[in-house]
């Protein structure tokens, strides 16, 4: 088997760490690996396949002889360094929002639109975490009955913001349990024992940037600009794994039983749907797992061709690192 020279940019962050883990777990064919991060992490040693690898500072000269570059270094750094990596001959798989809606850059979920990797020009975008898990579950239903309209409400874990938000939730929970005042530093308001209906900045239409990502990215990957998508994204006091309540309206009637059968055969999906036994997906069930879990599948009795679904997935794995590595496997 051919082996590849791989670089991970942003290797010390939460998603970068998951990328390293998943490359090992899936035994990706690596000849040499390079870990890149900001200057403050230079010289730090990270263990990969039992051997130490020294972290190097990310620069435009970091990609000589690199075949595949996994980026999880933030949008600004991706805009600065991804073109240099591509110019050096690497294929960049970028986890930020920087390139997702660029018409020259494919936006890919391997279970949904693997064929789009073929037209890359050196950069491939990894979609938003909340979009990934939704389209993994909806694409098989779209293929079967064509989805006309999607209404989604998300319940997104704090790890989507990063380690600082994980630390804040823990700190606030400890403070409240001890009778102390909980201080909000990362979010505008306290996140512990609370819900925040604001993820990313608000756009002129009063939807947040996160919500519009779900609209625009879904249409791009489904190759259908006519699908109606309305999203409400909410941050919840959960460490890992996003949950979503999704309502769809299809062109032809799709019963809950048929949807269950379709999803049980769909790649990357695990149906967990036994309401009589009180069995359904939860964030704890999904954490550390690669599947997208789907349950609470039922007819929407308010419209002729409607379905409701509950979708849960580990946002650090399938929502970020795993999807990027799967794109690399496609390459």
pLDDT in tens, 151-163: 999 999 999 998 8
Annotation says 245 is catalytic: no
- Given a cut of 90, whether residue 80 has pLDDT beyond it is yes
Q: For the whole model, what pTM was predicted? A: 0.95
Give residue 275's pLDDT. Answer: 94
Please give the angle made by the CA atoms of 304, 280 and 22, to the nearest 5 degrees.
110
Which class is domain 4-127+321-330?
Answer: alpha beta
Top CATH class of 131-315 equals: alpha beta
Q: What is d(CA 319, CA 131) in angstroms, rounded to the nearest whole number?
A: 8
Mean local confidence (pLDDT), 36-54: 94
Place 16 in a pLDDT band, splitting at 50, 70 and 90. very high
Catalytic residue among 120, 142, 233, 242: 242
* Mean pLDDT of all residues in 182-196: 97
192 vs 169: CA distance, rounded Å: 6
pLDDT at residue 73 greater than cutoff 90: no
Structural domain boundaries in the chain: 4-127+321-330, 131-315
What pLDDT score was predicted for residue 75? 86
The pLDDT of 289-318, averaged and rounded, is 97
pLDDT at site 74: 84
Residue 283 clears pLDDT 90, i.e. is over it: yes
> Annotated catalytic, 129?
yes
What value does the mean pLDDT take over residues 294-317?
97
Q: Render the burial of 201-227: b for 16+ CB within 10 Å, e for the rest.
A: eeeeeebbebbbbbbbbbbbbbeeeeb
Catalytic residue (one of 120, 129, 142, 233): 129
- Report d(CA 129, CA 258) in Å as an integer: 27
At 217, the pLDDT band (50, 70, 90 cuts) reads very high
pLDDT at res. 304: 93
pLDDT in the model for residue 231: 98
Looking at the DSSP bridge assignments, the partners of residue 52 are 47
Residues 20, 46: contact at Cβ < 8 Å? yes
């Amino acid at each position: 088997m051919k082996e590849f020279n791989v670089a991970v940019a942003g290797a010390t962050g939460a998603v970068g760490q998951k990328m390293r883990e998943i490359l090992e777990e899936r035994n990706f064919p690596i000849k040499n690996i390079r870990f890149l991060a900001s200057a403050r992490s230079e010289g730090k040693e990270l263990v990969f396949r039992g051997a130490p690898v020294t972290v190097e500072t990310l620069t435009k000269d970091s990609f000589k002889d690199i075949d595949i570059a996994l980026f999880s270094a933030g949008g600004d750094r991706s805009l600065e360094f991804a073109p240099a990596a591509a110019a050096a001959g690497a294929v960049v798989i970028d986890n930020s929002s920087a390139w997702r809606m660029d018409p020259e850059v494919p936006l890919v979920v391997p279970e949904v639109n693997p064929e789009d990797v073929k037209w890359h020009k050196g950069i491939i975008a990894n979609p938003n975490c909340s979009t990934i898990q939704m389209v993994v579950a909806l694409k098989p239903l779209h293929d079967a009955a064509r989805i006309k309209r999607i209404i989604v409400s998300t319940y997104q874990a704090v790890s989507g913001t990063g380690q600082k938000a994980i630390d804040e939730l823990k700190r606030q929970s400890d403070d409240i349990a001890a009778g102390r005042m909980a201080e909000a530093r990362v979010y505008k308001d306290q996140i512990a024992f609370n819900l925040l209906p604001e993820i990313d900045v608000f756009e002129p239409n009063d939807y947040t940037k996160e919500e519009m990502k779900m609209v625009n990215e879904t249409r791009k990957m489904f190759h259908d600009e006519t699908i109606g998508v309305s999203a409400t994204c909410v941050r919840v006091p959960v460490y890992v794994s996003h949950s979503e309540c999704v309502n769809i309206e299809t062109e032809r009637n799709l019963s809950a039983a048929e949807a269950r059968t379709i999803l049980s055969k769909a790649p990357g999906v695990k149906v967990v749907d036994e309401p009589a036994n009180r069995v359904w997906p939860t964030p704890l069930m999904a954490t550390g797992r690669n599947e997208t879990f789907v349950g609470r599948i039922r007819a929407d009795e308010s419209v002729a061709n409607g379905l409701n679904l509950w979708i849960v997935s580990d946002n650090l794995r399938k929502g970020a690192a795993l999807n990027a590595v799967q794109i690399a496997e496609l390459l």
